[in-house]
């Protein structure tokens, strides 16, 4: 299996065709992602559960599908994905308390199902409640363990780059019959 030999045997037109084919695959994936953002109302319509804090509801590696329609009220018992100022990675936890004011302002408290205490220790210093602006999305469905690929690729970057290189080489060097 001589990949570079295949590359050398291609004429320039075939090579350009393969490069354009690869670019179309990448741009199609980006368009699908942006379309999902618009349809779901969430800046991140798909997330992977990275820890065991939500077991037994969700396990590490589960892939969650999110929506974030702002007109839907947040209720206790609902599973939300939120971002806290100063942290890059969103957190998946359940709403345990909702504090609603007369003016329509809603604040809420979260907790991981597998955690002993609520999430106040995870919020930024001095913050005791989350607000709607902190929510990235609400869990609407999941696929068990599908996100393990993402976790493995993040834990082993060399594996990630090798996999991407093999996939890129396959797309670039594969000839249509």
pLDDT in tens, 150-163: 899 888 999 989 98
Distance of alpha carbon 52 from alpha carbon 29, whole angstroms: 29
Owning domain of residue 21: 1-40
Distance of alpha carbon 30 from alpha carbon 37, whole angstroms: 11
| 139 and 102 assigned to the same domain | yes
Residues of the chain above pLDDT 70, percent: 93
Taking the model in full, what pTM does it have? 0.77
Are the C-beta atoms of residues 175 and 14 closer than 8 Å to each other?
Answer: yes
The total domain count for the chain is: 3
Per-residue pLDDT reduced to its tens digit, 16-53: 887 888 899 889 999 999 999 999 999 889 999 999 99
| 33 and 116 assigned to the same domain | no
Q: Is the peptide bond before 126 cis (omega within 30 degrees of 0)?
A: no
Structure confidence at residue 176 (pLDDT): 62
| 73 and 126 assigned to the same domain | yes
Are the C-beta atoms of residues 92 and 114 closer than 8 Å to each other?
Answer: no
Is 113's pLDDT higher than 70? Answer: yes
| 79 and 151 assigned to the same domain | no
Active site residues: 53, 93, 119
């Amino acid at each position: 299996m001589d990949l570079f030999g295949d590359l050398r045997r291609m004429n320039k037109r075939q090579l350009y065709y393969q490069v354009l084919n690869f670019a179309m695959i990448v741009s199609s994936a980006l368009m699908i992602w942006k379309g999902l953002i618009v349809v779901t109302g969430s800046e991140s319509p798909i997330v992977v559960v990275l820890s065991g804090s939500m077991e037994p509801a969700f396990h590490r590696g589960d892939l969650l599908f999110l929506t974030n329609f702002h007109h839907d009220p947040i209720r206790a018992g609902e599973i939300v994905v939120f971002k806290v100022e100063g942290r890059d990675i969103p957190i998946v936890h359940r709403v345990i308390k909702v504090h609603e004011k007369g003016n329509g302002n809603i604040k809420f408290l979260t907790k991981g199902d597998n955690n002993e205490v609520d999430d106040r220790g995870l919020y930024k210093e001095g913050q005791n409640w989350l607000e709607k602006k902190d929510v990235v999305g609400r869990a609407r469905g999941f696929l068990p363990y599908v996100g393990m690929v993402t976790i493995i690729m993040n834990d082993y970057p060399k594996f990630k780059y090798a996999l991407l290189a093999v996939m890129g080489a396959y797309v670039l060097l594969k000839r249509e019959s």
